[in-house]
Structure 1
Amino acid sequence: MIEPQSMRKQRGFTLLELLLAISILSVLTLLAWRTLDTLSKTDTWTQERTEHWQGWRVALAQWQTDLDAMEDLAPEPAPVFDGLVIQWVRRAAPLPDDHAPGWQVVAWGLQPDAQGTRRLARWASPVLRERLALLQAWQAARLWARNPTEALRAQQTLLPAVDDWQLFYYRGGAWSHPQSSSGGPGNAETGDRAAPSGIRLLLTLPGADQPQTRQLRVDWVHPSYNGPRTEGSVP
């Protein structure tokens, strides 16, 4: 028997058609959610990496600025590296409405954060204008590297995390360890107060790759250096 056309128009979806439509909608919803989740994770990862490298740009810019402002006013040849911390005296940035010259003792080393993660850290004294205060701050920088008090920690800035760091001085036409007895000019053991012509900072960043692929190298050249700028050799 042929069904009248008016009855066919009034008939709804069958149960099978409804189940098929729901299944299709479920698959589309799942695909859409996975796409959004992937986009969200990608955006979060990109933002974290951007903030990470922005942190390094700020940290290394401060490193370069501190070195460019270095002055030989310390009680020892500047800069001084004792195996834990490198420190020197720098010209302080001028304060508003204050044209009197001032200096700061700055120190760089590794310090743990609250979670125990080792971080590159910078310590800086207040602006100083007296010789005695400068000598006291010099000793405070050494204490900060070994047994920092809460007061000394308040003067530090924790920078991005690192696994390890190394320093090299450019002296006598070659790169050598800062404490090497054959480093040439600028060696504290020889009593020569001249600063090295360059300083190489080699940082090993945290990660699962080989250490060689996680190294960040920053070379600083003394503003007064006019010699050849070659790669040299790193011991």
Structure 2
Amino acid sequence: MGTSLSTRKVVAHPSERPLPPTSTDKTPAQSRGFTLIEVLVVISIMALMTLMAWRGIDTMSRTQGQLQSRANDTHTLQAGLAQWQADLDQLAQLPGTPSWNWDGQVLRLTRQSPTTLASRTGSQSSVMVVAWTWRRDPSQPNSGNWQRWQSPPLSQRQAWQSAWKLAQQWGQAAEANTQTGQVQIHPLSGWHLFVHLGGNWANPLSNDTVTPGNPSDASTPNTNVLQGTVPDGVRLVLQLPPGPIGSGTLIMDWIRPTLSGQHS
């Protein structure tokens, strides 16, 4: 009689089953944290990124500051040139009153005033005395300031004469009694004026283009001055010192609005 064997599956009791591994049972490779070298590398990378970002912001800030400074410098120069042209455009031709006088140091002009003054007989137009000069600045080597001066609106000849003399004094030396009405226009290394008379551009202080002036009315005795007659044109030559808008020579021509005829 043969013997048969039966296979029986043995199931372990729940209490005898192995428990799942816990976090404390991880291998050494799984439980290892950051080393000191890794932390230092991360900190170094973060510091480098911060430095690069700071340099980028600093460069942008510097560029913006330079652009703003250049814009401001350009604006002040443009405003000065516009004022220069406006003064020449509004020259007043009054009987017995010079509208133009250049003695090599200060240019004096009599121009129409935008202000209307009230009088006993009603409102009347007025004029102003305007002066332009370049004054050396001791604090700026090889440089100075382009300056403008103007009087209050005038309607009496005596008041005009006082303002005309005061403008000459201001051109010679800016003192407390003459600085009222003075405006700083723009830094310059120097300036020159040329006039257009007889169909040619010439130095207004040359013998070919001037009429003898009153020595007591000039900045230097026996100095020839161009006075009274308004030239057909004025050429302004400005020497710009190194600055936000750069350095070099700026030339601006003005032509008398009432000029007519053929001129070369």
1:6, 1:221 → 2: CA distance? 95
CA deviations 1:149-176 (Å, max 9, x no partner) are 2121121001110000000001111111
1:105 aligns with 2:129: yes
TM-score (norm. length: structure 1) = 0.84
Match of 2:18 in 1: none
TM-score (norm. length: structure 2) = 0.75
Give the letter aligned to residue 231 of structure 2.
P
Match of 1:139 in 2: 165
1:177 aligns with 2:198: no
The secondary structure found in structure 2 opposite 1:70 is: coil
Match of 2:211 in 1: 188
Moved over 2 A (4+): 3-12, 72-78, 94-99, 111-117, 187-194, 226-230
Q: CA deviation at 1:23?
A: 1.0
The secondary structure found in structure 2 opposite 1:167 is: strand
CA deviations 1:188-223 (Å, max 9, x no partner) are 339984311110110001128xx9x61111111100
Q: Is the 8 A contact 2:100 2:227 kept in 1?
A: no
Match of 1:233 in 2: none
2:166, 2:177 → 1: CA distance? 10
The secondary structure found in structure 1 opposite 2:177 is: helix
Match of 2:187 in 1: 161
Q: Is the 8 A contact 1:74 1:88 kept in 2?
A: no
Which stretches in structure 2 are left out of the alignment for 5+ residues?
A: 1-23, 214-225
Q: Is the 8 A contact 2:101 2:227 kept in 1?
A: no
Q: Which has more radius of gyration?
A: 2
1:166, 1:74 → 2: CA distance? 29
Q: Is the 8 A contact 1:163 1:204 kept in 2?
A: yes
1:12 aligns with 2:33: yes
Aligned mate of 1:80, from 101, 120, 130: 101
Q: In the superposition, relative to structure 1, how do residues 20 and 35 fare at CA in structure 2: closer, same or farther (>3 Å)?
A: same
Q: Is the 8 A contact 2:234 2:254 kept in 1?
A: yes
If each structure's helix is expressed as a fraction of its own residues, which one has the higher value? 1
RMSD: 2.8
